Structure 1
């Protein structure tokens, strides 16, 4: 992990909550008042909350991110938001290629790559998600799959200085299952190696690699202590500010 790299604790709320949840940023800060130089907090609510959440988080040292965006700037794409539209809400991050979107909404590696390019051009920071299925892991193909996803999901014009990667073993999301610490360390080391090949060691060493997959207060400390784990992309535990604050306190 690069020197002076902050630990990023990101909560992906998926399709949960309502506008009253914008107060959760203040609730979190009340539970975790310390504004540490070593940790960054990111809340990723559903799209209808983005602007209100960004406003509510001002002065609290909490960032706000979208869960997806389209790769095109404008057009006949009913129900979609462009990266520029996301930027107008005050959000500063966008999650891209989450396994649920890859499985249910047709987000291919190449589409994630064009979205990543659009997000960076809009001045936002993409969190590009990669991860293997249980079948792929049991077949011994986890590193191959993750490496292929990285190669296909990061565009040729990507700025490695404005990029976050999230490793999410698909079979561990929402299941309560967690890979062994050794497995997590191995994949994160592999990802760092792929990034080094792509961007060079100087840039790659400063790219945050998050772990996502049933992260909770009970296992976060051991996971976050790993050398190449620079934070966590949290699902269920990120909906409850007490759990999120408990995880942040372990950094």
Structure 2
């Protein structure tokens, strides 16, 4: 089991660079690291330089997406090399909003993850089912099929985030038992793909995580942290989650 707990704070399309700077400065004034808990902020690319200059020591940051292409005539894309140049450590790939709104397939997600790894970024590969899939009892098989396709050609420097789509931004939260069911299944697949290294990989849960539920979710044996959306926007909530894991 990985000794660390990762809180990946996904701001989505929120905060201007000025707001990001103020958030990072407030965090720096109030943040007390919790042993074994690692914070990383996933911000819009335009705000990454502000985070690099203002986040407290020990807090990492990353991007919410990365191009599958190395460079060239891909207007609007941001390459892994660009992200590394500003100090990013992570790149989220395959978030359900990218899959839904931009039509990203498992193959596209895997290509982005490979590009991230090629430049030393750790991809956070997101998978998870919609409500109709869960209601049919197919949530485990669906998620593992999605994950297998999204990890094609991917090495062991990877984080997997299970995010039941029906629990993202809805206020609905999968129970700690639901999270563990999928995390254990994901760990089993990772073991098949990566052998003993799978025990050291982080498997996160994402979906309406808050200070009052994070401890129960992350207390499960196969859940190594959370991909946090709305609760990542306020420093007070981030500190609450960090403190809950001490």
Q: Secondary structure at the match of 2:213?
A: helix
Q: Secondary structure at the match of 1:205?
A: helix
Write the distance in 2 (CA, Å) between the matches of 1:29 and 1:36. 14
Write the distance in 2 (CA, Å) between the matches of 1:136 and 1:94. 27
Q: Which residue of 2 aligns with 1:159?
A: 155
- TM-score normalised to the size of structure 1? 0.94
Residue 250 of structure 1: how far off its partner (Å): 1.1
Write the distance in 2 (CA, Å) between the matches of 1:181 and 1:123. 32
Q: Which residue of 2 aligns with 1:26?
A: 25
Superposed counterparts of 1:209-228, under 5 Å: 209-228=203-222
Contact 2:34 2:242 in 1 (8 A): no
Between 176-185 and 132-141, the greater mean CA deviation after superposition: 176-185
- Of 175, 183, 196, the match for 1:188: 183
The structure 1 segments of at least 4 consecutive aligned residues displaced by more than 4 Å after TM superposition are none
Indicate yes or no: 2:99 matched with 1:102.
Answer: yes
Q: Which residue of 2 aligns with 1:175?
A: 170
Write the distance in 2 (CA, Å) between the matches of 1:47 and 1:229. 28
Q: Which residue of 2 aligns with 1:6?
A: 4
Per-residue CA deviation, residues 45-94 of structure 1 (Å, 9 max, x unaligned), is 1110112211212x521101000011111122111101111111111100
Q: Which residue of 1 aligns with 2:115?
A: 118
Q: Secondary structure at the match of 2:217?
A: helix
Q: Which residue of 2 aligns with 1:143?
A: 140
Write the distance in 1 (CA, Å) between the matches of 2:212 and 2:244. 10
Per-residue CA deviation, residues 209-242 of structure 1 (Å, 9 max, x unaligned), is 0110000012111111111110110000000010
- Of 36, 39, 52, the match for 2:37: 39
- TM-score normalised to the size of structure 2? 0.96
Residue 136 of structure 1: how far off its partner (Å): 0.4
Runs of 5+ consecutive residues of structure 2 not aligned to the other structure: none
Write the distance in 1 (CA, Å) between the matches of 2:28 and 2:52. 14
Per-residue CA deviation, residues 72-128 of structure 1 (Å, 9 max, x unaligned), is 111221111011111111111000000000000121100010111100010111000
Write the distance in 1 (CA, Å) between the matches of 2:164 and 2:9. 17
Size of the aligned set, in residue pairs, is 244
Write the distance in 2 (CA, Å) between the matches of 1:209 and 1:68. 19
Runs of 5+ consecutive residues of structure 1 not aligned to the other structure: none
Residue 24 of structure 1: how far off its partner (Å): 1.5
Q: Which residue of 1 aligns with 2:49?
A: 51
Between 240-249 and 15-24, the greater mean CA deviation after superposition: 15-24
